[in-house]
């Protein structure tokens, strides 16, 4: 019933929107004939203003630059009331203002517009041709004087800091009226007096530049951005705002840097670009989705990923990762409560707002971007070879035999060694004559297979992107299509992705515009089992563990298995890594469709109404098949073939409407007020089936399996809904004193009836010190602003869809001495279950120096999250073991620094952006008893969450060395089975023994700080971009190493085992224990032995590009051509022994006390093996038509 109420609320909202729309349309019809008339002047206000003054006001408001012929347009006037419409898009205002003057505009860059007369109709034969637009004089310049006989011609090109041609630049001969403006590609041609002269190059938003000339005939100029003149606009929730007026912690992604990073996944391009944002590439698999966190962990189990909004559509990280980077216009990250509270319960972990490219008025432009390249595994692990393994394996078996069998001698043959523990034995030619560790000649002749080389390859990668945009004053469009194909560095892994986008906006009436954005995508992934344990047929772990002398194929051509060599010695049956790849076929297909439609209506003066409807469809299919040719763990061929079919689909819709009021009183008191309503609904269902014992490997679908062998079948279906009301008010006084308040009230169907609604208010204040008179006298200060914000947010991203109700399961009952089918409760109801709530304080300062050539942003924040959602144990008298409750409290606090500098600004341009952030996490409370939460990761308890420590800290023993000899063993507490050469642990509780009570916190995965730096260089058409990013501090629990450094002699090992303890006289490195096939002393327990430093520094991207001169491409009618080469993940400097130091969590972690699967922060930083990252090299070309 509650869901129906929520649905009805949404319908009522829609009905109100339709009525409002109908009334507004009637008003438009009633006033349509009065539109051409001038607006009556209000007392004290002019009815019309000069066009240059009008454009100047728009330039200040929207942070854009205009270029126009001042002499031709100075006398033109514009309806002054149009300036009152402060919430409309710039293009709408320009269209309405310029159309009566027979003027049009054209956008050449994101913040640059040209105003010129509407082209005349084509002249009739014999009539004089109309002058071309680029022959008109620029703003402030007169018409070009007639050419004298003593004059000469100077030509050239004007570029911006990125080396791209800059259209509309004024080029004037100093002291004269001679001038012109640059063409669309930045080129110009001008007659100048013979001899010496000085040219002045100027463009709104750029620093003017003078150039003295003598006999030169070609002059190239690079103009530098005047950051004081161009006010940046950022996207906020349900609107935009000038950067100068922002009082919240909002960071914008530099989109120019994304251009220099040809990546397959847009999320990876965020790494190191934004302070406080952690992007971890847990896997290098094609199509893998990175983990994103903003300002640390915000929850234990209700999700830590930020809200991602693409053109108003709320999407998951997978859809975001598949977005075509070339389609993105802007990307802003909201980090504090003041900016995220407008999203209420959805925004507690931060918000990423993505706006795709929209159409612009002007002639059509077409862009083609192609790059191709290859990728290789960036690192291989150093393993021992066959000869080293023979010596090591023999050592392990002998040590175990001598420890456990009285009277044992190394010389004892296998036949004399007990059969109750076969690992006392080692290969002596029993299975294969050549498989003999005692014969030095046979050891020297042992074959060797580098299984890393067998599973890795050089993968190809190509991308093709085509886009077009254009429009008129009535309609604008932007469309694009893309195809990406990528071969992974593990054989057979691959991805093909198809994307399309179409954005259209139409001015139906002067006060009404409608728009449609649609973005379908289709992705096909060829999967391999890359992560996890070899027992699960994981490719990477198998390749690192299988003995190096075991060949891939047997003599008759079938796959070998370690099982074939294992029987006499009880070695584990590690599966063949090559067979794991070739005999396992898994295809994962994803279909996404994002749709967004909107209508925006100018109701009355200062009021704008907007209604939006979004739809988001996502469907996934996986078809997997394991052939009968693959030798499985402990099973010799033929094995049992299995097939799996899985599909899911989710459909969500979102409807909202907003009413915005924007008013400025004499440019002193400036108001912007927004109110809105929103409703959402989400449907999901999935199904899965598994078949086995296929009669052949030809038909891989489930119906090809043997009759009656479909061993599992399951399906899931659920839905949820929400309704919201929100409001926001911005105020500033003369642009100096700023205030913002917002509130949102959310209702969600996933919570109990007693806590279904939550209210989330926030507010912020700002003071632009640089606008004060005393600050203006300090020339070095160009910008200075203090900010402070505080607010509340919620979190409803709990994976259990009905945690507050008592769900039912099938159950049989006895009725009249017969069993009948029925239902029984399967979970405990909790009608009081409610929102996770967080409160966040943020204080920041923005400082710009020397014309913003140096710009520093500093933020401090403190976030407290309480009422954490968690599945906990409940008294047995309830009849249940666990229930979901609101327990606990957690704190995140930290600092963020962002520094941008323009180091060199002449012909050679050098810009630097640097950011650094640190976050400290601490658990403050855990339920009524405060009992810690212990999490298991497949090999026992590995993590602990307890009061006073970071969430998911590593939990185990502290290794303090290796016992050198028996005297050392006798002098220190130890396990009863300990021998010399075993691991020495610290007696934490000082009770004289080593047991489970000596476990303690041994590290955590959260870094001391993270950082990123980008340096950009440009010179005469060349551009070089070098980006680095890294993490300092934080540990990794390397459980993969626990298998290939276990020193048990039954699997291949890292070369570190060569430094092991061998005898009291040869104690090794003091850290690595002895080889022992029957481990004693608890050597392989979870301890600091497996905890490694997770710090790293990565050269993330190096890109070199060249913009071809306009003179080279003009004959081909091209606007621009840029060729580029790029290298991704070029080098990583780290002490970490495994492939990738970016480890976020072990996916099958469980809470040991409750036994409930719960991935995420409770087991953060556990590495059980994953797909290595790739080093990628690409070569590309970008062409503008």
Q: Which residues pair with 1063 in a beta bridge?
A: 1066
pLDDT confidence bin for 1183, thresholds 50/70/90: very high
Of 231, 263, 287, the residue that ends a domain is 231
Computed over every residue of the chain, the mean pLDDT equals 83
* Residue 895, pLDDT score: 97
Q: Does the structure show a pLDDT above 90 at 589?
A: yes
213 shares a domain with 147: yes
Whether 247 is covered by a domain: the verdict is: yes
**% of the chain at pLDDT higher than 90:** 43
Whether 545 is covered by a domain: the verdict is: no
> Which residue spans within 237-310 are E strands per DSSP?
239-242, 250-252, 277-280, 291-294, 307-310
Whether 337 is covered by a domain: the verdict is: yes
* Residue 846, pLDDT score: 95
172 shares a domain with 137: yes
Q: How far apart are CA 660 and CA 675, in angstroms?
A: 7
Q: Does the structure show a pLDDT above 80 at 313?
A: yes
* Residue 818, pLDDT score: 76
pLDDT digits (tens, 9 = 90+) for 862-901: 999 988 877 776 666 666 666 777 788 999 999 999 999 9
Whether 900 is covered by a domain: the verdict is: no
SS3 961: strand
* Residue 226, pLDDT score: 65
SS3 427: coil
103 shares a domain with 56: yes
pLDDT confidence bin for 799, thresholds 50/70/90: low
Least confident of 494-498, 750-754, 1090-1094, 1159-1163: 1159-1163
Of 231, 264, 279, the residue that ends a domain is 231
Q: How far apart are CA 41 and CA 562, in angstroms?
A: 91
pLDDT digits (tens, 9 = 90+) for 9-30: 333 333 334 333 333 333 323 3
* Residue 110, pLDDT score: 59
Place of tokens 């269209």: 95
HSE of 1119, CA atoms in CB hemisphere, 13 A: 17
pLDDT digits (tens, 9 = 90+) for 1039-1053: 888 888 999 998 999
Whether 341 is covered by a domain: the verdict is: yes
Cis peptide before 12 (omega within 30 of 0): no
* Residue 141, pLDDT score: 34
User: Which CATH number covers residue 323?
Assistant: 2.170.130.10
291 shares a domain with 333: yes
Q: Which of 1156, 1164, 1165, 1166 is nearest to 869 (CA)?
A: 1156
Q: Which of 823, 837, 611, 670 is nearest to 746 (CA)?
A: 837
Q: How far apart are CA 1009 and CA 1032, in angstroms?
A: 5
Better-predicted residue by pLDDT, 547 or 37? 547
Number of compact structural domains in the chain? 2
255 shares a domain with 181: no
Q: Does the structure show a pLDDT above 50 at 169?
A: yes
302 shares a domain with 190: no
Q: Does the structure show a pLDDT above 80 at 46?
A: no
- Beta-sheet pairing, 328-334 with 459-471: unpaired
> Which residue spans within 1081-1173 are E strands per DSSP?
1091-1093, 1096-1107, 1120-1134, 1150-1151, 1166-1167
286 shares a domain with 143: no
217 shares a domain with 200: yes
Q: How far apart are CA 159 and CA 164, in angstroms?
A: 5
| Burial degree of 123 (CB within 10 A; 0-12, 13-18, 19+) | exposed
**Residues 179-205, mean pLDDT to the nearest whole number:** 81
Contacts of 714 (CB under 8 A, 6+ apart): 687, 688, 689
Whether 340 is covered by a domain: the verdict is: yes
- Beta-sheet pairing, 1166-1167 with 1150-1151: unpaired
* Residue 995, pLDDT score: 92
Q: Does the structure show a pLDDT above 60 at 456?
A: yes
Sign of the CA dihedral with 234 first, then 236, 240, and 241 last: negative
pLDDT digits (tens, 9 = 90+) for 688-746: 888 887 878 778 888 777 655 656 788 888 888 999 999 999 999 988 999 999 999 99
Q: How far apart are CA 750 and CA 748, in angstroms?
A: 6
* Residue 116, pLDDT score: 73
SS3 240: strand
Q: Does the structure show a pLDDT above 90 at 836?
A: no
Better-predicted residue by pLDDT, 920 or 263? 920
**Residues 1074-1095, mean pLDDT to the nearest whole number:** 91
342 shares a domain with 209: no
Cβ-contact 480, 468 below 8 angstroms: yes
Of 325, 341, 358, the residue that ends a domain is 358
**Residues 551-562, mean pLDDT to the nearest whole number:** 84
* Residue 1156, pLDDT score: 40
User: Which CATH number covers residue 98?
Assistant: 2.60.40.1120
Least confident of 48-52, 224-228, 609-613: 224-228
> What are the two backbone dihedrals, phi and then psi, of residue 654, each rounded to the nearest 5 degrees?
-140, 135
pLDDT confidence bin for 610, thresholds 50/70/90: very high
**Residues 514-534, mean pLDDT to the nearest whole number:** 88
Residues spanned by the domain of 350? 234-358
* Residue 100, pLDDT score: 83
Whether 674 is covered by a domain: the verdict is: no
SS3 205: coil
* Residue 857, pLDDT score: 96
pLDDT digits (tens, 9 = 90+) for 118-164: 654 433 333 333 333 333 333 333 334 444 546 788 889 998 876 77
* Residue 801, pLDDT score: 67
219 shares a domain with 294: no
* Residue 124, pLDDT score: 39
Contacts of 415 (CB under 8 A, 6+ apart): none
Q: Does the structure show a pLDDT above 70 at 32?
A: no
Q: How far apart are CA 311 and CA 1010, in angstroms?
A: 30
Better-predicted residue by pLDDT, 993 or 823? 993
SS3 61: helix
Whether 330 is covered by a domain: the verdict is: yes
Instruction: Return the HEC string of 500-513.
Output: EEEEEEEEEECCEE
Least confident of 58-72, 431-445, 593-607, 920-934: 58-72
Q: Which of 37, 73, 80 is nearest to 57 (CA)?
A: 80
86 shares a domain with 220: yes
Cβ-contact 727, 303 below 8 angstroms: no
pLDDT digits (tens, 9 = 90+) for 1109-1138: 887 887 888 888 999 999 999 999 999 999
* Residue 42, pLDDT score: 44
* Residue 1154, pLDDT score: 37
Cβ-contact 347, 795 below 8 angstroms: no
Least confident of 7-16, 680-689, 1057-1066: 7-16
Chain length of the chain: 1185
218 shares a domain with 78: yes
């Amino acid at each position: 019933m509650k869901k129906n109420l929520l649905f009805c609320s949404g319908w009522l909202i829609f009905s109100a929107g339709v009525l409002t729309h109908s009334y507004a349309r009637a008003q438009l019809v009633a006033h349509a004939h009065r539109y051409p008339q001038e607006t009556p002047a209000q007392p004290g206000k002019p009815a019309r203003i000069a066009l240059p003054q009008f454009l100047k006001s728009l330039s200040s408001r929207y942070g854009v630059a205009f270029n126009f012929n001042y002499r031709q347009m100075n006398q033109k006037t514009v309806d002054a009331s149009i300036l009152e419409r402060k919430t409309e898009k710039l293009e709408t205002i320009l269209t309405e203002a310029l159309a009566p003057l027979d003027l049009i505009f054209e956008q050449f860059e994101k913040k640059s517009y040209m105003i010129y007369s509407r082209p005349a109709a084509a002249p009739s034969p014999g009539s004089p041709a109309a002058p071309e637009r680029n022959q008109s004089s620029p703003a402030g310049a007169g018409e070009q004087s007639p050419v004298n006989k003593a004059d000469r011609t100077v030509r050239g090109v004007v570029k911006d800091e990125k080396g791209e041609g800059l259209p509309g630049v004024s080029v004037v001969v100093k002291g004269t009226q001679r001038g012109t403006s640059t063409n669309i590609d930045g080129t110009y041609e001008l007659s100048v007096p013979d001899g010496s002269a000085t040219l002045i190059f100027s463009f709104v938003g750029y620093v003017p530049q003078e150039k003295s000339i003598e006999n030169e005939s070609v002059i190239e100029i690079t103009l530098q951005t005047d950051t004081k003149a161009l006010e940046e606009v950022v996207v906020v929730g349900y609107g935009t705002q000038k950067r100068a007026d922002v009082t919240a912690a909002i960071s914008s992604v530099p989109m120019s840097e994304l251009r220099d990073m040809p990546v397959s996944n847009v999320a990876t391009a965020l790494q190191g670009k934004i302070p406080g944002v952690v992007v971890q590439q847990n896997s290098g698999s094609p199509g893998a989705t990175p983990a994103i966190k903003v300002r640390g962990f915000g929850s234990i189990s209700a999700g830590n990923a930020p809200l991602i909004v693409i053109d108003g559509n709320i999407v998951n990280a997978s859809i975001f990762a598949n977005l075509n980077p070339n389609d993105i216009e802007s990307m802003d990250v909201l980090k504090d409560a003041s900016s995220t509270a407008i999203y209420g319960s959805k925004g507690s972990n931060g918000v990423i707002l993505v706006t795709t490219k929209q159409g612009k008025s002007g002639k059509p432009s077409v862009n083609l971007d192609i790059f191709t390249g290859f990728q290789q595994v960036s690192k291989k692990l150093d393993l021992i070879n066959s000869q080293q393994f023979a010596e090591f394996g023999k050592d392990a078996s002998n040590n175990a035999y001598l420890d456990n069998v009285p009277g044992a001698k190394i010389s004892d043959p296998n036949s004399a060694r007990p059969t109750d523990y076969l690992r006392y034995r080692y290969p002596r030619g029993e299975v294969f004559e050549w498989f003999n560790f005692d014969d030095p000649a046979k050891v020297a002749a042992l074959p060797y297979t580098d299984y890393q080389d067998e599973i890795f390859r050089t993968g190809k990668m190509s991308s093709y992107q085509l886009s077009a945009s254009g429009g008129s004053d009535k309609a604008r469009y932007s469309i694009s299509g893309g195809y990406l194909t990528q071969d992974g560095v593990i054989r057979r892994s691959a991805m093909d992705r198809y994307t399309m986008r179409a954005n259209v906006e139409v001015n139906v009436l002067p006060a009404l515009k409608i728009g449609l954005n649609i973005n379908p995508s289709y992705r096909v992934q060829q999967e391999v089992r890359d992560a996890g344990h070899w027992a699960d047929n994981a490719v990477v772990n198998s390749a690192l563990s299988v003995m190096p002398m075991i060949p891939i194929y047997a003599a008759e051509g079938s796959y070998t298995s370690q099982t074939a060599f294992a029987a006499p010695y009880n070695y584990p049956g590690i599966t063949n890594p090559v067979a794991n790849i070739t005999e396992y076929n898994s295809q994962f297909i994803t279909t996404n469709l994002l749709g967004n439609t909107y209508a925006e209506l100018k109701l009355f003066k200062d009021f704008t109404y907007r209604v939006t409807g979004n739809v988001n469809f996502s469907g996934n299919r996986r078809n997997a098949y394991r052939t009968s040719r693959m030798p499985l763990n402990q099973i010799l061929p033929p094995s049992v073939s299995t097939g799996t079919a899985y599909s899911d689909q989710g459909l969500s819709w979102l409807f909202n409407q907003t009413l915005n009021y924007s008013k400025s009183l004499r440019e002193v008191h400036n108001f912007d007020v927004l109110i809105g309503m929103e409703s959402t609904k989400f449907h999901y269902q999935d199904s899965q089936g598994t078949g086995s014992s296929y009669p052949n490997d030809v038909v891989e679908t489930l119906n090809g399996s043997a009759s009656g062998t479909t061993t599992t079948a399951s399906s899931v279906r659920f839905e949820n809904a929400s309704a919201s009301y929100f409001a926001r008010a911005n105020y500033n006084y003369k642009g100096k004193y700023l205030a913002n308040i917002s509130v949102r009230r959310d209702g969600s169907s996933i919570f109990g009836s007693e806590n279904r609604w939550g209210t989330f208010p926030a507010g912020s204040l700002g003071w632009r010190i640089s606008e004060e008179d005393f600050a203006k006298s300090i020339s070095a200060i160009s910008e200075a602003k203090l900010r402070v914000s505080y607010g509340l947010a919620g979190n409803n991203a709990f994976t259990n869809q009905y945690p507050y109700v008592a769900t039912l399961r099938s159950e049989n009952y006895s009725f009249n001495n017969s069993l009948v089918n029925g239902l029984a409760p399967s979970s405990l109801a909790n009608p009081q279950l409610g929102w996770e709530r967080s409160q966040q304080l943020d204080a920041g300062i923005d400082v710009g120096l020397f014309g913003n050539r140096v710009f520093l942003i500093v933020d401090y924040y403190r976030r407290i999250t309480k009422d954490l959602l968690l599945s906990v144990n409940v008294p047995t008298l309830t009849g249940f073991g666990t229930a979901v409750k609101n327990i606990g409290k957690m704190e995140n606090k930290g600092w963020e620094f962002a520094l941008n500098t323009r180091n060199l600004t002449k012909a050679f341009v050098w810009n630097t952006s640097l950011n650094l952030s640190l976050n400290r996490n601490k658990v403050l409370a855990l339920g009524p008893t405060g009992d810690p939460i212990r999490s298991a990761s497949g090999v026992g308890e590995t993590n602990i969450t307890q009061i006073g420590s970071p969430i998911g800290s590593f939990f185990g023993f502290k290794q303090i060395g290796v016992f050198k000899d028996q005297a050392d063993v006798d002098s220190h507490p130890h396990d009863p089975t300990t021998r010399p050469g075993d691991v020495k642990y610290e007696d934490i509780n000082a009770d004289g023994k080593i047991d489970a009570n000596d476990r303690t916190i041994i590290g955590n995965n959260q870094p001391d700080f993270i950082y990123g730096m980008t340096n950009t260089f440009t010179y005469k058409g060349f551009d070089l971009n070098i980006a680095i990013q890294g993490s300092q501090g934080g540990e990794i629990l390397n459980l993969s190493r626990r298998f290939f450094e276990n020193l048990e002699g039954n699997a291949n090992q890292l070369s570190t085992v060569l430094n092991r303890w061998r005898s009291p006289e040869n104690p090794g490195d003091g850290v690595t224990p002895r080889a022992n096939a029957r481990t004693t002393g608890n050597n392989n327990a979870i301890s600091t032995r497996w905890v490694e430093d997770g710090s790293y520094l990565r050269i993330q991207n190096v890109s070199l590009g060249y913009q071809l001169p306009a003179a080279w491409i003009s004959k081909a009618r091209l606007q621009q051509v840029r060729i580029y080469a790029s290298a991704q993940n070029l080098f990583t400097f780290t002490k970490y022994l495994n492939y990738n130091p970016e480890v976020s969590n072990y996916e099958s972690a469980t809470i040991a006390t409750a036994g409930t699967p719960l991935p995420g922060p409770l087991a953060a930083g556990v590495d059980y093996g994953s797909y290595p990252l790739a080093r990628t090299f690409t070569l590309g070309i970008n062409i503008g038509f």
